[in-house]
Amino acid sequence: MSEGDREIPLDGGFANAPGTQNISQQQGLSYRDQLKQEFNRLIDLVEVSPMQKEFLRSRWLDQVLWMESRAAAARNWHRRLRLVTIIGGVIIPAFVSLSSFNLDALQQVGQPNQSAVNLNNQYRVFFGVSAFVLSQVVAISAASEQFFNNGDRWRHYRRSVESLKTQGWQFFSAIWPLRHLQQNGFPQRCFYLVCQPD
């Protein structure tokens, strides 16, 4: 076997890929920690100089982990704000309807009960104020989502980090000749991906 040839295991080489470890080994680790652990292991296995390994860790891996965390944060904010807007938008019309509901009409003809009138007025005030407050929360949520563009940021960071991971996987699996990746491709492509504007 020549120096560049590798023996391919029966499982296709995927048994040690990130996310395919035994679940019992990964319990307690966050996805970010799993990525860091697995990519550090792969960086140790690559046949490059120690300085190049440190470059991989300090630049490529650092950016992958940072973009992963930014993508997760933007996704979470996007989903929270959208859910508040959607659920609030559904509840507001119900509160408006309940605030205009008149219990007096349900009472039989005759002298209205004073406690029923007071209860009716309390409910009307409660639902009216609740509809107003909830409408303000929905408006703030929608405006915040529009201003911060969390959905667009999520998609941008997710695309960028997946492209960086793809470049890394191609580098680690030596799909292209290693000399070509080191001299002409990998650093420049990663730099381009990291420096893309939002």
pLDDT, one tens digit per residue, over 103-154 is 655 555 555 677 777 877 888 899 999 999 999 999 999 999 999 999 999 9
Q: Read off the pLDDT of residues 52-65 as tens digits, 9 standing for 90 and up.
A: 899 999 999 999 99
Q: Is residue 184 part of a domain?
A: yes
- Domain of 165? 27-194
Higher pLDDT pick, 167 / 181:
167
> How far is residue 28's CA from residue 21's CA, in Å, rounded to a whole number?
13
Banded model confidence at residue 5, pLDDT cuts 50, 70, 90: very low
Q: Is residue 13 part of a domain?
A: no
Q: Is the pLDDT of residue 4 over 80?
A: no
> How far is residue 113's CA from residue 115's CA, in Å, rounded to a whole number?
6
% pLDDT > 90, the chain? 49
Residue 157 φ/ψ, nearest 5 degrees: -65, -40
Q: Is residue 36 part of a domain?
A: yes
Q: Is residue 94 part of a domain?
A: yes
What are the E-state strand segments in the chain?
none
Q: What is the pLDDT of residue 108?
A: 52
Residues 6+ apart with CB under 8 A from 103: 116, 117, 119, 120, 123
Q: Is residue 17 part of a domain?
A: no
- Name the pTM for this structure: 0.71
Banded model confidence at residue 49, pLDDT cuts 50, 70, 90: confident
Q: Is residue 153 part of a domain?
A: yes
Q: What is the pLDDT of residue 130?
A: 96
- Number of domains into which the chain is organized: 1
Q: Is residue 41 part of a domain?
A: yes
Q: What is the pLDDT of residue 192?
A: 65
Q: Which amino acid is at 20?
A: T
